[in-house]
Amino acid sequence: MSTINNLNPQRVFYYFEQLSAIPHGSGNMSAIAQYCVDFAINHNFKFVRDTANNVIIYKNATAGYEQSAPIILQGHLDMVCQKTPDCDIDFLKDGLQLYVDGDYIKAKDTTLGGDNGIAVAMVLAILESDNISHPPIEAVFTTDEEVGMIGARALDMRLLQGRRMINLDSETEDIVTVSCAGGSDFKANVPLVYTKRTGHTITIEIAGLKSGHSGVEINKNRVNANMIAGRVLNELKSNFDFSVISINGGDKSNAIPNRCVIILCVDNPDDICSFIDNYYKTVKNEISDREPQFKITTAVGAVGEHNVLNTEIKEKIIYTLLCAPNGVMEMSAEISGLVQTSLNLGVLITNTDSIVLHFALRSNKQSALIFLEQRLAAFFDNLNLKYETFGHYPPWEYKSDSYMCDLYCNVYNSIFGKKPRILAIHAGLECGVFAAGIKDFDCISIGPNLKDVHTVNERLSISSTASVYNLLIKILEKLK
């Protein structure tokens, strides 16, 4: 394995290698936070380390910038830990094994942690340097971003004087991100009331759908397996007598479910299987252009006595799957192509005492997110079902007169001879948490080219890192 700290910009890659040697998966933040504290102490910088292991390092302005407004430079300390089946690394104790492959830095058999270690490395290199002109810097390193932005949500924003921020958690060099969605979780519970029924079981499996992230892919017309399950049950209801034993689809609220399994108890399994097969052909003809691998299969079990949902509960489940909102609710009127508000029924699970429906809600407008929660609440109130909302994180709303965006675009154009792409995303960034806590907040999110993040194929472009680092320095120089 070759080392990487002799690459240019040398100090950025030096610090990236130093950070990569420290275990820093989400939930394991103490050692890497201490590294940042030791850095601050060794360079005589004022710092704060809070109970969530967030670290803020303060550096005074360079000559000529003393009257300039502070700038916040921000990234997160944690990484997603994945490894190949034969990799023996213990993420709680071991560092990563980095190597260079052409223009890319990779980690042997593991995720790289370029998301977001390269942000921390770039900021440390800037803090260390005596040759970069800049206003006062507040370097903010947050923790446990990958598991719910826990550190950012715990951070006392009163520790920051800056109203302008550069977040370094984006993954494409020619994109500047200017808005992100906020979100919440909405979970409804349908209490189970069972009766007994004797008959054959039929297992209906809906599978082969593309799935995807409920923020990034929600606008790609990917079909939700739980919604298909509602269609199947509704068609059966109009033609046959059946009882539901269980229904289960999806395991993550923020992933569009690609599979749902329904188990029924029936008297006439052959007729029902034939009916489902014909209905499958109808639905496949409808969605095959966007879901070519979609399929519905059935399997008949032996006769027996089973606990089945009573009629009232069955009707509530079918009604919910037919009528509850799901998918894209509204597109942005400000940014072309941006989904503004959406929700995803990501988990439908039959427990011992209830069926749980777990939705992930998103919006780039706080008021729209609140209304979507109210809409779901009214829906389930009408069914006399209990629900809860939790996991709230605020949106970072688009600022049409952003000084930071204008400055970035002008500097980018002066260096590369073209404008960057301006992007708003329908997923979460820590910028939303900062925007909620800092008045008159103005922010951009940038970063070097990273590929296949959160997988063992993750890789960081060396040349792109150099470009973004030099661009960041030019931005700092312009912030007088």
Q: What are phi and psi of 246, to 5 degrees?
A: -160, 160
* Residue 46 pLDDT exceeds 60: yes
Percent of the chain with pLDDT over 90: 94
Give the per-residue pLDDT at 480: 82
Beta-strand (E) ranges in 295-372?
295-309, 327-331, 339-350, 354-363
* Residue 439 pLDDT exceeds 70: yes
Q: What is the pLDDT of residues 347-406, one digit of tens each?
A: 999 999 999 999 999 999 999 999 999 999 999 999 999 999 998 999 999 999 999 999
Percent of the chain with pLDDT over 70: 99
Is the peptide bond prior to 9 cis by the omega test (within 30 degrees of 0)?
Answer: yes
* Residue 433 pLDDT exceeds 50: yes
* Residue 2 pLDDT exceeds 90: no
Q: What is the pLDDT of residues 201-230, one digit of tens each?
A: 999 999 999 998 898 899 999 999 999 999
Tell me what the pLDDT averaged over the chain comes to.
Answer: 96
Q: What is the mean pLDDT of residues 271-277?
A: 97
Give the per-residue pLDDT at 421: 95
Give the per-residue pLDDT at 6: 81
Q: Is 17 a catalytic residue?
A: no
Which of these is catalytic: 78, 115, 146, 458?
Answer: 78
Could you tell me which of 188, 184, 194 has the C-alpha nearest to residue 321? 188
Give the per-residue pLDDT at 265: 98
Any residues with CB less than 8 A from the CB of 167 and at least 6 apart, and which?
74, 75, 177, 429, 430, 431, 434, 443, 444, 445, 446
Q: What is the pLDDT of residues 113-138, one digit of tens each?
A: 999 999 999 999 999 999 999 999 99
Give the per-residue pLDDT at 1: 39
Q: What is the DSSP letter of 429?
A: -
pLDDT band at 53, cuts 50/70/90? very high
Whether 110 and 89 have beta carbons less than 8 Å apart is answered as yes
Whether 264 and 245 have beta carbons less than 8 Å apart is answered as yes
Q: Would you identify the CATH topology of the domain 10-181+396-478?
A: Aminopeptidase (3.40.630)
* Residue 100 pLDDT exceeds 80: yes
Q: Which one of 3.20.20.70, 3.30.70.360, 3.20.20.60, 3.40.50.740 gives the CATH number of domain 184-393?
A: 3.30.70.360
Q: What is the pLDDT of residues 184-193, one digit of tens each?
A: 999 999 999 9
Give the per-residue pLDDT at 3: 67
Which of these is catalytic: 17, 144, 145, 173?
Answer: 145
Give the per-residue pLDDT at 148: 86
Q: How many CB atoms lie within 10 A of CB 126?
A: 20
* Residue 174 pLDDT exceeds 50: yes
Q: Is 145 a catalytic residue?
A: yes
Q: What is the mean pLDDT of residues 311-319?
A: 97
**Count of alpha carbons within 13 Å of 294, Cβ hemisphere only?**
24
**Domain spans of the chain, in order of start:** 10-181+396-478, 184-393
Give the per-residue pLDDT at 175: 97
pLDDT band at 5, cuts 50/70/90? confident
